Amino acid sequence: MTSPAATLVIEALALAVARRPRALLIDADNNKERWVTLPEAVRSGQAFVVELAAEILAIDCDEPSRVGAVEQLAVALREDGEVPILLASGRPDHRHLFCRIGQRNKREYHRARAKQEGLQVRSAIRPPLAPHRLGLSVALLNPTDPATALAALRPADTGDTQRRTRRPQPSRPLSDHLSGLLRTGDFRDGGYSSRSELIQAIATAAVNAHWDVQEFQTALLDPSNTAGQKVQAMKPGDADRYLARSWTKAQRYVKENPPVNGKGDARQVIRRFEVAAKAAMWRGRAGATEYAVLLSHIAIATKAGKLTYHADVRSLADGAGVTAPTAARASKRLVKRGWLGRTKPANRHKGEATFWTLRSGTQRNTHTSASRDNDGTPDNTPISAGGVRSNVADGTAHAGGALGHDAFRWAEGLGLSTRRVFEHLDHGMPRLVCSLSTALGTSGQMVRRHLRRLAAHDLAVKTSKGWLRGPGTADEAARARGVDGTGARQQLRHQEDRERWARRALDAGLRFSTGSAATASRQLLASGPRAEPHPVDATVRRGREDSPPAGAEA
C-alpha cells in the first residue's frame, strides 16, 4: 500500500509531466482499462500512463544493451544545461528518462539523438515513480531526491509577477545588411524569394533587436524604406493587421529559436544540425552522396564557427571524398531539399567563394547587430533567413573519421552507401540488421550487402548479439582496393587549379585582401617557377563519382 506522502509525490510528478490532468489505467496484462482523473489514478494504486506535455522529452529503454546509451544521453543533456531525471522503471536494467526542455530546437536535437541510438521516445508513458503493472520496484537513480526531480520537471514560472519585474532591454539598430535591404527592398539580393519573406525577416531581426511593434510598423510604413512598398500600398487597417501578424509570427519564432551569440552558440547549433542530418533518410546513391557533401559543409561551418560561411566546391569535394562536379551537383540538390541556402554566389573578381547557410526544417535564429569576438574582429553579420555571414574566407576543412576517406569513394572504393552503414557501427554496442535498416531507411537485404563488404576488410564483425565495428582500418581497406592516395592526388590537382587561376588573376592586375585567392596569390608571389602538375588518376578525371559504373553495388 502506497503511503500518503508517496502518493502526494507521485501525483506532483505526474502533474509536472502530463499534458492534462487525466490518466489511462493499465491492468497487470498491460491492457488499457479506462481514462480517469490523475488524482483518482494515483489513489487507485494501479499502473497508469499520462499524455506528456510538449516540453517533456521521455525515453523508454527496455533493452539492457541500451542502458549505456540512456546514460550517455543524460550526460549530454546535463552538458547542454538541462536536468534529466533517470529512473529504474521496474525490470532489471530497464530505464526511463524524463527531461523538460523549453527550447524546441534543443528538444528536437536530443529527440533525434535518442532515436539515432535506438531508444524509444514516448508521447505517453508511466510518470516518474508511478506503480509498475506487475508491482516491480521503481526508483529515482539520478537525482535520487524527489524534490529535486519535481523542481526540474515543473514548468518555469511565467506568471504576471515575473513579467512585471522583467526590465525591457534597450533597442538596437538592425545590421548593416538588413538596414540596406530595408532601404532598397531588393529581396533577391538578400536571398529571399518574395517581398513578404523579406518583411518577415525584418520583423524577426527587429524582435531580436528589442524593437517594439510601433517601431517596426513605423519603419515599414516609412516611404523612404522601399521594403515596405507592399504594406504602404494597402489600406491603413489592412496594413496594420498585416504587420501585426508578421510581428506575432516573429515573436513566436524568436521564442522557439533563441539567438545565436558568437562561435560557441553557433557550434552548438551546428552539432544539433549534424544530429538531425544523421537521423534523416538518405536513400540510394544520390542520397549517400548528398549526405557526405552535407557533412563536408558541416565540417567547414564548424571550423569557422558560423552558420553562414565561405565554401568553394573543391574544398567540399575533398572533405566528402567525391569530385568537384559531384559536390556541386549534390550541393544544388541539398538547396532544393532545404538543408542548405545559397546565400551569395561566388565572386571571381573579389576572390570569394560561394556563401552557404546551414538550414533545416526550422531555421535558426541569430543576432541582428554586428557583434565582435573577444579579439575584436567582426563576428556575426545577419543575412537572409536567420543566418550569419562568416568573416572567415578560407573555409577549407577535412572532417575526421571515415568521411572523405579513399576507402569509401565511389567506383573502385567501397562506396558512400557502405560508409553510412560503417558510421552506424560501434565497437562496444552491437547493432541488429533490422535496427540498421530502420535507421538508414533501406532494406535489410541492402544492409547485409554493405555489412558483407565491410566484413571482407575487417571493418565489421558479426557476433551473436549483432554487428560490431571490426579491428580493420580504412587505410588497410583503401590499399586492398587500390584507391589509396586518390584523395591526396585530387587535393593536389585542386591546389594546382587554384594557383593557376590566381596566377591569371595576378597577371590581370587583380588583388585580393582575404580568402583562399589572397592566400594563393601570396604563395605565388613568394614562390618561384610553377612546378609540373602531379599525375591525376583516371577516377578523379572522370568527375562523376555519384554515378558508379553499371553493375557496381550501391
Q: What is the DSSP string of 54-113?
A: TTEEEEEE--GGGHHHHHHHHHHHHHTT---EEEE-SSTT-EEEEEE---HHHHHHHHHH
Q: Which fold has domain 406-481?
A: Arc Repressor Mutant, subunit A (1.10.10)
Q: What was the pLDDT predicted at 482? A: 93
**Percentage with pLDDT > 90 across the chain:** 35
Q: What was the pLDDT predicted at 523? A: 56
**Surface-to-core class of residue 391, CB atoms within 10 Å of its CB (0-12 exposed, 13-18 middle, 19+ buried):** middle
Q: Which fold has domain 4-153?
A: DNA primase, PRIM domain (3.90.920)
Tell me, what amino acid is at 83? V
Element (DSSP H or E) covering residue 161 = helix 160-165
Q: What was the pLDDT predicted at 524? A: 53
Q: Point out the least confidently predicted range of 74-88, 113-127, 366-380, 480-494.
A: 366-380
Identify the residue whose cell numbers are 576517406.
405
| Among candidate residues 258, 266, 261, 281, the one with its CA nearest the CA of residue 357 | 266
Q: Are 356 and 345 in contact (CB under 8 A)?
A: no
Q: What was the pLDDT predicted at 483? A: 93
362 φ/ψ angles, rounded to the nearest 5 degrees = -115, 115
Q: Point out the least confidently predicted range of 42-46, 156-160, 319-323.
A: 156-160
Q: Across the chain, what does the average pLDDT equal? A: 80
Distance from chain centroid for Cα 474: 26
The 47-51 sheet, strands edge to edge:
32-37, 22-26, 47-51, 124-125
Distance CA 487, CA 408 (A): 11
Distance CA 404, CA 295 (A): 10
- Mean pLDDT across the stretch 123-148? 90
- For the ranges 123-127, 214-218, 237-241, 427-431, the one whose mean pLDDT is highest: 123-127
Distance CA 455, CA 433 (A): 14
pLDDT of 50 > 60? The answer is yes
**Burial state string for 271-282 with b = 16 or more CB within 10 A and e = fewer than 16:** bbbbbbbbbbeb
Identify the residue whose cell numbers are 540510394.
284
Alpha-carbon separation of residue 24 from 58, 261, 458 (angstroms): 17, 44, 50
- Mean pLDDT across the stretch 389-405? 45
Longest dimension (CA), the chain: 90
What is the reported pTM?
A: 0.59
Q: What was the pLDDT predicted at 428? A: 80
Torsion angle of the four alpha carbons 513, 393, 365, 439, in this order, in degrees rounded to the nearest 10: 170
Q: Are 61 and 94 in contact (CB under 8 A)?
A: yes
pLDDT of 369 > 70? The answer is no
pLDDT of 375 > 60? The answer is no
Spans of all domains in the chain: 4-153, 176-256, 406-481
Identify the residue whose cell numbers are 517601431.
215
pLDDT digits (tens, 9 = 90+) for 480-511: 999 999 999 999 999 988 888 777 777 776 65
Considering only residues 100 and 510, tell me which one the structure prediction assigns the higher pLDDT. Answer: 100
pLDDT of 317 > 70? The answer is yes
Q: What was the pLDDT predicted at 527? A: 54
- CA gyration radius, the chain: 27
The 120-122 sheet, strands edge to edge:
120-122, 56-61, 95-100, 85-88, 139-142
When pLDDT is cut at 50, 70 and 90, the band that residue 267 belongs to is confident
| Among candidate residues 103, 99, 139, 144, the one with its CA nearest the CA of residue 119 | 99
Q: What was the pLDDT predicted at 355? A: 87
Contacts of 452 (CB under 8 A, 6+ apart): none
